[in-house]
Amino acid sequence: MPVITLPDGSQRIFQAPVTVAEVAAGVGAGLAKAALAGKVSGKLVDTSFKIREDARLEIVTEKHPDALEVIRHSTAHLLAQAVQSLFPDVQVTIGPVIEDGFYYDFSYKRPFSPEDLTAIEEKMRELSAANLTVSRREMSRDDAVDFFKNLGEQYKAEIIASIPSNEVISLYGQGDWVDLCRGPHVPTTGKLKVFKLMKVAGAYWRGDSRNEMLQRIYGTAWTNAKDLENYLTRLEEVEKRDHRKIGRELDLFHMQEEAPGAVFWHPRGWSVFQSLIGYMREKQQAAGFQEVNGPELMDRSLWEASGHWEKFGENMFTTQTPDERVFAIKPMNCPGHVQIFKQGLRSYRDLPIRYAEFGKVHRYEPSGALHGLMRVRAFTQDDAHIFVSPEQITEESVAVSRLILDIYRDFGFDDVRIKFSDRPAKRVGSDGIWDKAEAALKEAARVADIDFTFNQGEGAFYGPKLEFVLRDAIGRDWQCGTLQVDLNLPERLGAYFIDLHSQKQIPVMLHRAIFGSLERFLGILIEHHAGRLPTWLAPVQVVLLGITDRADAYLCEVAVFLKNHGVRVDIDLRNEKIGFKIREHTLQRVPYLVVAGDKEVAAKFLSVRTRSGKDLGRMSPQTFVERLRVELESRGRRVLED
């Protein structure tokens, strides 16, 4: 006699085991019709799942937070069924849910064409309209292997063969088509109405480049047409904001095959990069950080002692000298900072010691993962390590958290989510040490009045961390900053200080990054602002445009005047129509377009407009510089409307 507790607290008693669908029908016909799945005591299940004991039950409808996961998972199956209906000799492999959609990998004798995608999507709609019942059944592992081998599905058979022999295998069928899957799925294909296939890409079987190249079809699915339309609109906006495209248009940087995952910075891009460093250097100095710099190449033994060799060895670039010493190019800065701390005798009176470095690091990323500035192999971290006593953890963590949030606001990121990542499965240090580190970081978050969600098992291998996630102008999330409490690395590398009682004590090390990767942060900024960087960051802040050549001498004088006041200025004296010049420099996203003709020369004035087309009127060079000074000194906070 299971007792079912519903979300509103009401309870229903049944005389025998009951399915989720039956409970929904007992509540009302409308709920039964809307049911996509169930959530039994926190676990997602099919509506056909039979509840045999007391449980809490949520009926998953389109409005439920888990609805999209079920819909997208089921639509991946709909895709696979449609593909095999149209191309019977295709073999299916895997089809998981991903952010905003799903994909399925196929093995086929030829590439899928755009026309194929159109036909596949049409077939999916046909199968949806057929409202096929989706059913689940279970098999032993060995029976499931034989089943898929008999179907000619060698990839599925290989997947199942790798599963422990005592594990029960579940299969889902719809019509005469069946697939291996854990589920859950919608009760019928008719529940899948709002979807679109997006593209085809290559993918190696099981992610291994030594295996066969498969074809991956990506799709998206939603609960309603409006959400799909909004998503497609957002994709268009993402394409327009692509930092690689804008980087070319603004002549900021480029990348090429001879240096995969590394950036060739052009003068304008390097100007922006250095502005980021200058800004952060100023902030860090005000917060009591001392800037240091460590070697990029260090002996393997140091990385073994720190634990990085075991954890990251396969992602480190190494070299061997003629005397057979193995060196690694640093993938992170922390072991170097510990070495600096260890030079000389440290007292408790010296703590906290705050080291910061704009450290160039190198990490091997697979070629397929590289993506402009967002995913590179060579990048610069705004890395810092703070050595504190255990009693100083909370105060210092609070100060760092507030500094991070203050800096993000300067760049226009007011929507910041924070995640608490606790101990991963593969880690160094005892559980007792981890208990202390996690408790200290949670207490710091409490004191700083920081709300966070849990990111279970995603801490660094040496300590827990807070992750700061920025939401950009078009709703995308970017994890940038981190604050980590480390009770392991200082001990492993032999760091200590002398306490009040003249005893050696191991310091706690706080790892802190705010931009994370300067390259990636700049890519995020470019896309967040669609290339219209705040005036203080823009590579060219003002462009001077002459209407006639009679204004040339005056504009040259103004250019010198502006440069002497620290303004990055270009001058365009070409014999072109002023409208053409304005359009061209507007496309270059220059914040201020300053025009001078005969009237301006006679009055020693300037006509000023913004890149958005706002006319600020006529003003003297002195007035314009003062206006700019106020904006530039705000260092990121926009004072003037764009």
C-alpha span between 196 and 180 (Å, rounded) = 23
* Tokens describing residue 443: 């207490």
- CA distance linking residue 455 with residue 419, whole number of Å: 6
Which one of 39, 268, 492, 511 is the catalytic residue? 511
CA–CA gap between residue 218 and residue 199 (Å, rounded)? 5
Give the relative orientation of helices 552-564 and 621-633 as an angle to the nearest 10 degrees.
30
**Rg of the chain, C-alpha, whole Å:** 30
Token output for 227: 């959400």
Residues 6+ apart with CB under 8 A from 158: none
Catalytic residue, from 191, 330, 334, 337: name it. Answer: 334
User: Are the CB atoms for 462 and 418 separated by under 8 Å?
Assistant: no
Residue at 442: amino acid letter: K
Among residues 77, 385, 442, 529, which one is catalytic? 385
Q: Is 37 exposed, middle or buried (0-12, 13-18, 19+ CB in 10 A)?
A: buried
Three-state DSSP state, 315: helix
Q: Which amino acid appears at position 566 of this protein?
A: G
Largest CA distance in the chain: 96
CA nearest neighbour of 173 among 46, 65, 24, 57: 46
81 flagged as catalytic: no
Is 334 in the active site?
yes
Relative to beta strand 326-329, strand 353-362 is unpaired
**H-type alpha helices, 113-220:** 114-129, 141-150, 154-161
Judge residue 314's burial from the number of C-beta atoms within 10 Å of its C-beta, 0-12 exposed, 13-18 middle, 19 or more buried.
exposed
Tell me, yes or no, if 427 is annotated catalytic. no
Q: How far apart are the C-alpha atoms of 365 and 362, rounded to whole Å?
A: 9
Exactly one of 465, 528, 529, 589 is catalytic; which is it?
A: 465
End-to-end CA distance of the chain: 67
Q: How many residues does the chain have?
A: 642
Active site residue 383: yes
Q: Are 545 and 569 in contact (CB under 8 A)?
A: no
Q: Beta strand pairing status for 416-421 and 453-455?
A: parallel
Distance from C-alpha of 397 to C-alpha of 442, rounded to nearest angstrom? 10
Residue type, 122: E
179 labelled catalytic: no
Residue 224 CA to residue 314 CA, distance in Å, equals: 44
Indicate which residue of 383, 422, 472, 486 is catalytic: 383
User: Rounded distance, CA 197 to CA 140, Å?
Assistant: 34
- Between CA 615 and CA 618 the distance in angstroms is 9
The C-alpha atoms of residue 288 and residue 384 are separated, in whole angstroms, by 11
Paired with 509 in beta bridges are: 387, 486
Q: Catalytic site residue 556?
A: no
State the catalytic residue, choosing from 84, 215, 284, 381.
381
The alpha carbon of residue 343 and the mean position of all alpha carbons in its chain are separated, in whole angstroms, by 37
Give the list of residues 6+ apart from residue 642 with CB closer than 8 angstroms, or none: 532, 591, 610, 611, 612, 614
Q: Is 581 a catalytic residue?
A: no
Exactly one of 363, 371, 609, 618 is catalytic; which is it? 363
Active-site annotation, residues: 334, 363, 381, 383, 385, 465, 511
